[in-house]
Structure 1
Amino acid sequence: MEFYSYALLTLSVVLMAMAIVALSLVKPRRDAERVYARLGASPASARVRVPGPVERLFLRSGLADQRVHGYFILVIWSLAALLGMLFAGVPGAVLGIVLGLGLVYGLIEVQGRRRTRQIVSQLPGFVEHVSRGLQAGRTLTIAMWAAAEETRPPLQDVMRRVRREVELGGSLGEALHEAAEIHRLDSLRLVALGVRFNLRYGGSARDLMDQVVWALRRRERAYRQLKALTGETRISAVVLGVLPVGIAAYTVAMNPDYYATLLETPQGPWVLGGAVVWQALGVLFLWRMMRSL
């Protein structure tokens, strides 16, 4: 048993080291962007770079520039594996690693969705600021940079990354489109489409931005109406997800020996682990259904 304990402890440390390396992947790129920005130069071959899936996940959640939060999540993952090993041995450790990975992904995804909602709420005001800058006689690019400096995070962080991509030689429309793909924002895709259309075919940028603001406002009203109509469905999904866990906790509190027999048999930990996995899958399915509403 001691061999398995040391092996799983080593595995946890290795997983943490691998995750730290994953967090460090974005640092060289960010440092290079800062160097080019300070020098006022851009490489001739620079294009809007498409980040990988892991980098997209961290960029969407805002953890790419907040390494302390990333390390905290890694600690949660390792603790889940170690606690599982202490309570249920090897099966518990394996279950802890799987559930810890799911917990880490869930925390990052929740953080990303929270930032996405904030960006969506900031976009209409941002585009209105761009429209006012165009009315004052600025170009579309300068008006957008001025509006980006006046807005708040997280939209400010997104626009600063877009500006770095443009300063490195990319196109403004392509950089906005890539930012929309990273954050899964249909509203930002609409802004990017308007910018690309204006840069390619010309026309009144102010009228175009006014139309974009109107479309964003209308989309926001429709989303609020849909959210109000589906409120009962979301509450039902939350109740279905919490009810099994609540019943299990109540049973343990009222009769602690109820689950003790499972822990005393060789098959007991596997049965409990299977129940936890199925419950986690059920919560995942309900969460995916709620995302579509």
Structure 2
Amino acid sequence: MNTLLSASGLGARLAAVICVCLSVLLTTLALRRAAVSYQNAFVLRATASLRQNFVVADAGRLFLSSLLLTALLGSTGYGLMGVMGALLGTVFAVVAPRLAVAYFARRRTRTFVYQLPDALLALSSALRAGSNLTKGLELLSTRQPAPLAQEFTIVLAEYRIGRPLAQSLSEMRGRIDSPELDLMNTAINVSRRVGGNLADTLEALARTLQEKAHMEGKIDALTSMGRAQGWVVGMLPIFIGFVLYQQQPERMSLLFTQWYGWIVLAVIAVMMAIAAWMIRKIVNIDV
């Protein structure tokens, strides 16, 4: 009887060990599959973004750099603030590459918009000199600086392989998120369909865009103090919290280890996000 009980107990333990091993194996396979899927999605998205912004970089190395940054910030946050710090550092490291790509895209778009009035004036002069629209766009692609020259080079390459010019200009509008391109595309498409003096239209559009850029520059200069104050107000609670944590680590650690501390942090984060949104709405004036 004792032998049967021992055998049954041994079998139960063996079954439990097998179940645990299978669970660990399945979990490992699932995590590996999820990691591979995330890596593939990251590489594809990063490759598309880099190509669109004409940045020569290896997406695989960027993924490895992102992993190293995640490990570094996560460990640093854990050493400074515990589990909550590790979580914050990991989230920031995951979001940082996307924020960097978005920043470079916005900067490239802003540079393109500032270059567009001079390019339209050059195109208008070329049309008045007797060149056709295709020859004028070719001059823009060879004599204008990047990124404007890069975008018009793509437009001409697509036009030469048989794609309609209107479609190529529309796709350039999709790559460059700028309403100024809508005006240029509309002027060119209307002129190609119903005729008219395209040179005068482009010159008037260029003058309008120059005035708009001049006004936006004045607004940026006048609202720069408000943006600086927004950054100071946004960083001040984080700085004060860090100083208090260094002075009273036991009391401040309750914010990261107790449920009511997490609620306080969530309320603070929501209020700071609302404040940042309101400041952004105040200082961003659409012309």
Give the equivalent residue in structure 2 for 1:221.
Answer: 214
Counterpart-to-counterpart distance in 2, 1:15 and 1:277: 28
Deviation of the 1:229 alpha carbon: 3.6
Deviation of the 1:93 alpha carbon: 6.5
Q: Which amino acid aligns with 1:19?
A: F
The structure with more helix, counted as a fraction of residues? 2
Give the equivalent residue in structure 2 for 1:17.
Answer: 40
Counterpart-to-counterpart distance in 2, 1:81 and 1:193: 49
The share of aligned pairs that are identical, in percent, is 23
Q: Which amino acid aligns with 1:68?
A: D
Pairing partner for 1:285 from 266, 269, 277? 277
Deviation of the 1:210 alpha carbon: 1.2
Counterpart-to-counterpart distance in 1, 2:29 and 2:260: 23
Distance 1:258 1:104, change over 3 A: farther
Does the 8 Å contact 1:19/1:74 carry over to 2?
A: no
Deviation of the 1:95 alpha carbon: 5.0
Distance 1:12 1:98, change over 3 A: farther
Deviation of the 1:196 alpha carbon: 0.9
Q: State the TM-score, normalized to the length of structure 1.
A: 0.69
Deviation of the 1:259 alpha carbon: 3.3
Does the 8 Å contact 1:77/1:104 carry over to 2?
A: no
Give the equivalent residue in structure 2 for 1:201.
Answer: 194
Counterpart-to-counterpart distance in 2, 1:108 and 1:182: 14
Which shifted more, 274-283 or 242-251? 274-283
Deviation of the 1:179 alpha carbon: 1.6
Deviation of the 1:19 alpha carbon: 0.6
Give the equivalent residue in structure 2 for 1:150.
Answer: 143
Q: State the TM-score, normalized to the length of structure 2.
A: 0.70
Deviation of the 1:270 alpha carbon: 5.1
Deviation of the 1:118 alpha carbon: 0.9
For 1:135-187, what per-residue CA distance to the aligned partner results, in whole angstroms no more than 9, with x for missing partners? 32210111111122111111122222222332332222332233223321122
Which shifted more, 236-245 or 13-22? 13-22
Does the 8 Å contact 2:137/2:156 carry over to 1?
A: no
Give the equivalent residue in structure 2 for 1:48.
Answer: none
Structure number with larger C-alpha Rg: 2
User: What's the RMSD between the two structures over aligned residues?
Assistant: 3.8
Give the equivalent residue in structure 1 for 2:174.
Answer: 181
**Aligned pairs (5 A) from 1:88-167:** 96=89, 98-167=91-160
Counterpart-to-counterpart distance in 2, 1:23 and 1:109: 11
Counterpart-to-counterpart distance in 1, 2:280 and 2:111: 20
Counterpart-to-counterpart distance in 2, 1:206 and 1:192: 14
Q: Which amino acid aligns with 1:208?
A: T
Report the secondary structure of 1:230's partner residue: helix
1:67 aligns with 2:90: no
For 1:267-293, what per-residue CA distance to the aligned partner results, in whole angstroms no more than 9, with x for missing partners? 599569747864884586368537843
Pairing partner for 2:183 from 171, 190, 196? 190
Count of residues paired in the alignment? 255
Does the 8 Å contact 1:251/1:258 carry over to 2?
A: no
Counterpart-to-counterpart distance in 1, 2:180 and 2:265: 42
Unaligned runs of 5+ in 2: 1-23
Distance 1:94 1:165, change over 3 A: farther
Does the 8 Å contact 2:255/2:262 carry over to 1?
A: no
Does the 8 Å contact 1:130/1:143 carry over to 2?
A: yes
Counterpart-to-counterpart distance in 2, 1:192 and 1:282: 37
Distance 1:152 1:287, change over 3 A: farther
For 1:95-138, what per-residue CA distance to the aligned partner results, in whole angstroms no more than 9, with x for missing partners? 55543343222222211111111111111111122122223221
